[in-house]
Chains A and B, each alone.
Chain A
């Protein structure tokens, strides 16, 4: 049952969006978010919409995946829309019924806020849908590399992240095994009050923790045996190298911000 969890929800592919340098994609996502918050007016929003749509088409992500990504924030969007419609009061009153007042400005605001939220989410999961977690970690590590000069442990953080990613499926599998083992001995995880169910988790968590510590110990030994001695003097097999298309993409991102600012 736990196997259904997809982490980072990465969809492997070979499109141009998939093949972009992860560092460039991170930068582009930042540029995109900046542009989204700078955008004002119908034309700017329409432009942003075209940009998102183009990226989605290029990366071959279907509408199904888009809706699945938006599902968790559907309630937030709904609340934003309702709040804006009923509580933003402008000059042009469209409808008045006792204490309910709906104005044209309220409707506008609701529309803008909702599309901003939707585009924000779609833009960010475009990054995680098209970039493998390991590529993201690599990209982050290399982008943050200059911070090593001020003694921030960038390599260690990246290594921790990639080991965490590596062990998530292993630990999920193990949890499944422990659940089955405890069930076979009569444990009940699904009925009873909330407190009772929380207590039922304890015989699940303790063996999981013990095994995780044992794994950590063995992994550390295995890593040391393979000459791991921190980030110092370490090289990589796959060196990230920005190519022509990456620079083009970066230029387009910068261009987008310029146009959006001009439209203000």
Chain B
């Protein structure tokens, strides 16, 4: 398959400040992300779900094994800009990703670093801001925006590099429900409208149902890998991994336990409503 990110037997451990035992996070992880797909990586806190993501653009380098981005080895110093330009990364806290005091200046940061001419930067900035719906705010000061708006500016800042893949590391963890909704919508549109490969690391099941593929991690290993329908059917395995199922799935499970015959693969709110309607009409 045509993979954009590929890890081979990836190993990683965190070393403490003193000589204490290093904390082993990953022991030989094999993961491949296909071009143009939307992959969600699920796992509860400490499951090692963020660590591989930081390997995808050379922020962390593997202690064992290899990571390839578009066939390029991430441990090659000379390719580092090539790799970072292709795989953008959005982090949890929008405040700590915004560099400049004006929205458009911040979005321009990455293309400025890459040394594009100024009219090309202008074009990329305007386009990126339009994609995330923040064009009207281009001359605002970031600290006066809401959390969701700031996170969308941060996404625009990554999109201005015109990456092939964007990795989101719990992008909604610090947002209120409305901000989360707006950010999730932007993330979904990236794949659908721009054909950008999306890797979404999250512990919100309701965000993962939009993915093409879900990878569930626990203790640094993959315990499930499949489409949302395949994954959410296995409620017990998910609960063992410290995760919930989406609210829709939980409702259907409850109803099935009470003897109603409902399909387990009704994931979105609409599908779930339709399934219940069909059963009770």
B-binding residues in A (CB < 8 A): 132-134, 162-163, 165-166, 169-170, 173, 215, 218-219, 221-229, 233-239
Contact A169 B143 (CB under 8 A): yes
Contact B117 A235 (CB under 8 A): yes
**Closest residue of chain B to A173, judged by CB?**
B143
Contact A237 B98 (CB under 8 A): no
Task: Tell me the complex Cα distance, A163–B109, Å.
Answer: 12
State whether the Cβ of B125 lies closer than 8 Å to any Cβ in chain A: yes
The 8 lowest CB-CB distance pairs between A and B, nearest first, are A218-B96, A226-B110, A237-B108, A222-B97, A237-B121, A169-B143, A225-B89, A227-B113
* Pick from A132, A134, A219, A227: contact of B97, CB under 8 Å: A219
Task: Tell me the complex Cα distance, A165–B104, Å.
Answer: 16
- The interface stretch among B27-35, B80-88, B191-199, B227-235 is B80-88
* Pick from B57, B99, B112: contact of A163, CB under 8 Å: B99
Contact B57 A235 (CB under 8 A): no
Show 11 A/B contacts (Cβ-Cβ < 8 Å), sorted by A. A133-B101, A215-B93, A219-B97, A222-B91, A225-B91, A227-B81, A228-B113, A229-B81, A234-B112, A237-B121, A238-B118
**Closest residue of chain A to B108, judged by CB?**
A237
State whether the Cβ of B223 lies closer than 8 Å to any Cβ in chain A: no
- For A236, list chain B residues within 8 Å (CB): 108, 112, 118, 121
Contact B100 A162 (CB under 8 A): yes
Task: Tell me the complex Cα distance, A185–B61, Å.
Answer: 43
Known: A218-B91, A225-B57, A227-B85. A235 touches B118 (CB 8 A): yes
Task: Tell me the complex Cα distance, A215–B91, Å.
Answer: 12
- For B187, list chain A residues within 8 Å (CB): none
Tell me, rounded to whole Å, the shortest Cβ–Cβ distance linking A171 to chain B: 10
Known: A166-B98, A218-B96, A219-B96. A237 touches B110 (CB 8 A): no
Task: Tell me the complex Cα distance, A229–B105, Å.
Answer: 17
Contact B109 A226 (CB under 8 A): yes
Contact B118 A237 (CB under 8 A): yes
Task: Tell me the complex Cα distance, A226–B162, Å.
Answer: 11
Contact B96 A227 (CB under 8 A): no
State whether the Cβ of B59 lies closer than 8 Å to any Cβ in chain A: yes
Specify which of A166, A173, A237 lies most central, judged by the most chain B CB atoms within 10 Å of its CB. A237
Task: Tell me the complex Cα distance, A170–B95, Å.
Answer: 8
Question: Quick one: CB contact mask for B130-165 with A, threshold 8 Å, 1 for yes?
Answer: 000000000001110000000000100110010000
State whether the Cβ of B188 lies closer than 8 Å to any Cβ in chain A: no
Main secondary structure of the interface of A (DSSP, over half): helix
- For B141, list chain A residues within 8 Å (CB): 169
Task: Tell me the complex Cα distance, A236–B109, Å.
Answer: 8
A-binding residues in B (CB < 8 A): 57, 59, 81, 84-85, 88-89, 91, 93, 95-102, 104-105, 108-118, 121-122, 125, 141-143, 154, 157-158, 161
Tell me, rounded to whole Å, the shortest Cβ–Cβ distance linking A153 to chain B: 17
* Pick from B104, B121, B157: contact of A226, CB under 8 Å: B157
* Pick from B101, B108, B161: contact of A166, CB under 8 Å: B101
Tell me, rounded to whole Å, the shortest Cβ–Cβ distance linking A98 to chain B: 59
**Closest residue of chain A to B89, judged by CB?**
A225
Contact A223 B99 (CB under 8 A): yes
Task: Tell me the complex Cα distance, A219–B88, Å.
Answer: 15
- For A239, list chain B residues within 8 Å (CB): 118
- For B154, list chain A residues within 8 Å (CB): 222
Task: Tell me the complex Cα distance, A169–B145, Å.
Answer: 12
Tell me, rounded to whole Å, the shortest Cβ–Cβ distance linking B155 to chain A: 12
Task: Tell me the complex Cα distance, A169–B99, Å.
Answer: 13
Task: Tell me the complex Cα distance, A133–B100, Å.
Answer: 11
Task: Tell me the complex Cα distance, A228–B161, Å.
Answer: 12
**Closest residue of chain B to A159, judged by CB?**
B99
- For A228, list chain B residues within 8 Å (CB): 109, 113
**Closest residue of chain B to A215, judged by CB?**
B96
- For B93, list chain A residues within 8 Å (CB): 215, 218
* Pick from B98, B101, B157: contact of A134, CB under 8 Å: B101
Contact A165 B101 (CB under 8 A): yes
Task: Tell me the complex Cα distance, A165–B111, Å.
Answer: 21
Tell me, rounded to whole Å, the shortest Cβ–Cβ distance linking A176 to chain B: 13
Task: Tell me the complex Cα distance, A107–B88, Å.
Answer: 68
- For A219, list chain B residues within 8 Å (CB): 96-97, 99
- For B91, list chain A residues within 8 Å (CB): 218, 221-222, 225
- For B161, list chain A residues within 8 Å (CB): 226-227
Contact A225 B113 (CB under 8 A): no
Task: Tell me the complex Cα distance, A224–B95, Å.
Answer: 16
